[in-house]
């Protein structure tokens, strides 16, 4: 029960890494505030969390919009006693080189992958400051550390997440607020399945994704959730500004 009596807001909670973290954090005693754009996914993860006997609050919202973020924090504040953990996990993975990336795609990528973290953190940090501290965890990517083809906007956005994480970590280190980021490699999630399905030969595409992993396999959302649990728990209370790779050797 590493998170007993803690309250965690998790964005991008409906599937993949976010869903796995909702389930694991709940199993470790946390009250979960699950945030996602997809109402069906939210309902599904909430049902699974409630089976553990842990409180879960769901908020359907687009975290790239300030009004939605204000509503998330307002709903959370009205229904839980405090907020201790913010996991900024919502993100999208656009495909393409720079000359193939439309301005709209670029703007949406930066809004969801970076601006959302600014908005959520801006809303939650004053609560942390008032109550003597808290933990923020951001999801970056292994592609922020090692380039792959056709990920220009995505990699740029995830590089920005690392820079933001380090800036926030040093800004709030004396306020009891720890800020770290995860850099997952290729993780077998519904998001990846949708991207593979868009290829002319999804099976061949999957083989290529696996081939670039030195361990010879894809990671699982549950493995990433365990790393996230460590970083938000008291076991990591001396860790801030960390860029935590969990990528099967992809960036070695």
128 and 195 together in one domain: no
Q: Which residues partner with 58 through β-bridges?
A: 34
171-206: string of b/e by CB count within 10 Å (b at 16+)?
A: ebeeeebbbbbbbbbbbbbebbeebbeeeeeeeebb
- Asked, for residue 225, whether it belongs to a domain, the answer is yes
- Residues 126 and 193 grouped into a single domain: no
Q: Residues 115, 200: one domain?
A: no
151 and 192 share one domain: no
Q: Over 46-59, what HEC string results?
A: HHHHHCCCCCEEEE
Token pair recorded at residue 145: 């550390």
Q: Which of 154, 172, 209, 250 is catalytic?
A: 154
97 and 199 assigned to the same domain: no
pLDDT at position 126: 97
Q: What angle do CA 21, 26, 88 make, to 5 degrees?
A: 35
Whether residue 208 sits in one domain with residue 168: no
pLDDT at residue 213 in the model: 87
How confident is the model at residue 57, as a pLDDT? Answer: 97
Task: Kindly tell me the sign of the dihedral angle through the C-alpha atoms of 118, 123, 128, 129.
Answer: positive
pLDDT profile of the chain (252 residues), mean per 10 = 96 97 97 97 95 91 98 95 96 95 98 98 98 98 95 97 98 98 93 84 89 91 98 98 96 92
How many angstroms separate the CA atoms of 189 and 194, rounded? 9
In a domain, 14, yes or no: yes
Q: Are 85 and 120 in contact (CB under 8 A)?
A: no
In 207-226, which positions are buried (b, 16+ CB within 10 angstroms) versus exposed (e)? eebeeebeeeebbebebbbe
152, 202: one domain:
no
Q: Would 152 be classed as within a structural domain?
A: yes
Q: How many structural domains compose the chain?
A: 2
Is 68 contained in some domain?
yes
249 in a domain, yes or no?
Answer: no
Residue 194 has a pLDDT of 85
Contact 224, 149 (CB under 8 A): no
Is 251 part of a structural domain of the chain?
no
Q: Most distant CA pair in the chain: distance in Å?
A: 53
- Is there a domain that residue 194 lies in? yes
Instruction: Round to whole Å and give the CA distance between 169 and 103.
Output: 31
**Residue 178 in domain:** yes
118 included as an active-site residue: no
- 178: domain range? 7-184+221-238
51 and 98 housed in the same domain: yes
């Amino acid at each position: 029960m590493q998170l007993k009596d803690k309250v965690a807001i998790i964005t991008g909670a409906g599937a993949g890494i976010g869903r796995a973290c909702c389930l694991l954090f709940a199993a470790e005693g946390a009250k979960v505030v699950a945030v996602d754009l997809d109402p069906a996914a939210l309902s599904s993860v909430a049902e699974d969390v409630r089976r553990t006997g842990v409180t879960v609050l769901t908020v359907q919202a687009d975290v790239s919009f300030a009004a939605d973020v204000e509503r998330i924090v307002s709903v959370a504040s009205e229904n839980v006693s405090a907020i201790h953990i913010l996991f900024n996990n919502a993100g999208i993975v656009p495909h393409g080189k720079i000359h193939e990336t439309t301005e709209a795609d670029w703007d949406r990528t930066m809004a969801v992958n970076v601006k959302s973290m600014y908005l959520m953190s801006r809303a939650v940090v004053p609560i942390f400051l008032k109550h003597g501290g808290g933990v923020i965890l951001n999801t970056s990517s292994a592609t922020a550390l090692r380039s792959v083809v056709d990920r220009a906007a995505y990699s740029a956005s995830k590089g920005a997440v690392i820079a933001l994480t380090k800036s926030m970590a040093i800004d709030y280190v004396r306020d009891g607020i720890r800020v770290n980021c995860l850099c997952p490699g290729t993780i077998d999630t519904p998001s990846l399945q949708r991207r593979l399905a868009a290829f002319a030969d999804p099976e061949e595409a999957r083989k290529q994704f696996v081939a670039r992993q030195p361990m010879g396999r894809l990671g699982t959302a549950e493995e990433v959730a365990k790393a996230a649990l460590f970083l938000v728990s008291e076991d990591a209370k001396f860790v801030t500004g960390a860029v935590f790779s969990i990528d099967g050797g992809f960036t070695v």
